[in-house]
Chain A
């Protein structure tokens, strides 16, 4: 078998494995959301299908697939079906640049545990998040419903506003590492030099912006049930609604993975290399470390959703433009000055 064919198979299998794991994780984060919310509200939650309700996601998927697909009258049919696809494609393809482990050696092949090691990884992430706006905005417009339209407009304003502070927080990290490659950023956080310790303000800004970008409570204004019925997905049913649902949780997982990569040391387990374990075990432990950190953050997202009430729209905009943006700029300037003094 030729070398390029082997490489092609490796890349394709990486994509298949990562997307498979991601989609399963998305399904089970919906389950986790329901269980955790039940726990927080002192209920039991779904526990009938399978042991402890673990087969619930599959049943949900079957239910959504079998529902009738309704397109509202006078809606733009093409854009109405395009919007959920944009949402899910954007959120799934963002995972391509996230390193979920160092390298793994199978036979004599050293495989990098990252689908695409592009040297503009962070910019790719930012570009993809900014494309995510289209799914929500277009679904809001094409439904021909005023609640949907309001949800779409809100989301586009909200996402553009919080992208800025997110970019500024990331910029401070880029300044410290001097690289746009996510792999380099993870490698520079070896031991306990996690960026959350060096960049606490940046971490908070990024976290808040990630909540706003994924439309999660306390910033879920595009779909605020009490005022907008269902927001941008009021008019969606069946598989199209399921796609929005999947995209929301995929966004949560991807944001968690990004926070892990940028601030929590990615797949780094402090001083794991010094224990003298076999390299295969080290690689697997690194993947487990990454998964554990991401799981923790996903649970954090869920925890916040069921504890913090929703912001009002003006509060959201004030927070974005009058608190997060100046804080981001100040953080960037301070980081730049400190780096300047450290170098000289």
Chain B
């Protein structure tokens, strides 16, 4: 998961002719650790063209030579089950990296060689990075790299990427292959014996029609595996009669994919038997002992709740003082200083720069400390291996919405900010489940909304403010579950996607991996503040200034008065309505707008003015609406980007508009009935 939505960012400056190296591997093999180790901050995160799959590339130097490194998405295989798998293989086939480094896990050789078995049937030379030698030793497994290399017919470099052991050796091997001093000539796996003849037959049927640069043998295998993309490609390439012959073969052998997979595992079995001289000893591992609690259906939930509580506690304890400090010591003096510089300028210029630009972007930037701490805590839990357990224990609850455990991970991220949450839905394999998660993710109360609650609740509810805040969070989460159940029933007819997820071994977190993840997520947020939020802040300011330079007669006020009747259902006057509308660029703008509308700084003065102007019922309704309102502009933009459709983004806006108005009206009238009016 990461924030690589900035496709237009400048590409890296890499010397032309630098050799192109691809890094491939299954998830949880230490591939990212190796990538970060090699490239450090010389990396760029973007998207693969036309795909919502993260593309990470970077450069590094070795022996005075520059190399370009592309980190392929972590996938278990190269069959077109997901966009990640398509991206990985298309890269190798079309962009022709000079060397592919396949990262495998020495502690789990059998499974991790599966991807290698797929990689070697493509054209590029493959080097095996035998990572996690230390973990293997801990588990009592002994692997002999030389024997493995001889068996595979490929160079194998033992390494411990997290400790930078073996990295130089790996690069020397890569360089040797580039210079032609070393060749990788792997022994290819075959399909299981009972299907070999029929595969031959298939291959001869298609051989002449396979479009270059695809290797015909590989295409035949993929047809056997029922790969949807390759099947589609051959349907358009093959003459009708050959295609019907091919279809007949495939129909007759619809279990052929198992023959292919079994063939690969037979091949792997031979390699493992040769190279692993001591298999895992039957001790109860640390992972097993921890999972006894962390993955328990009941204790696991308590542990998860404890973890969440801890994350929030740490986030607000560490970050809140920094946030106040930024507000008072950084943003305010900066605004004053700029104001001083602009003394001679017309008042509208001063207003636009100081109130519009600095006020708008500044208030958003003060969230950075909160997000940094939250992202760090999340990245730590992720890197340790805990998040898979969180997904596992949440599976039952997610079933209520037709989702499964994996959807919980992005939703959790949403407590920090909804934008990375929606990007984080990329971990979900099936598209309907991912879409549903994207649609409900804005119902996770983000820090920005909690700021509005934290400001308004004490004004109206005094000592009960904490209970009101918790109640609002609970109400929002219950709405999330109900909305999920409803949408699943309507849009997806209650179908449910499969839950298949590896539970990685727990391991010691890598500071560099966490640091880079936090850095990338935070920078994406800063970029957003500097572009989209800046733009919208200026628009709101202009609307609140024109035509007479007075807010009360401005276009914004007129608009607020125009739609005030709708606001009235929820107990709002035009000012609360306007505040709500201006929360679209960024949720916490609501307070800034109220500050402007009441002609006060958003400090104690505003609190008194609000208390004098509105009833508790109106305030409660305003808070409910804030929690349920249209997602912020950045979130809507990401929904549109990740679904690649304005339709879903529009539906999301309409959904939350309806939900918030209904929720607000209901709350207001109930509160009035209860005597809060």
Question: A and B: real partners?
Answer: no
Chain B residues with CB under 8 Å of chain A are none
Chain A residues with CB under 8 Å of chain B are none
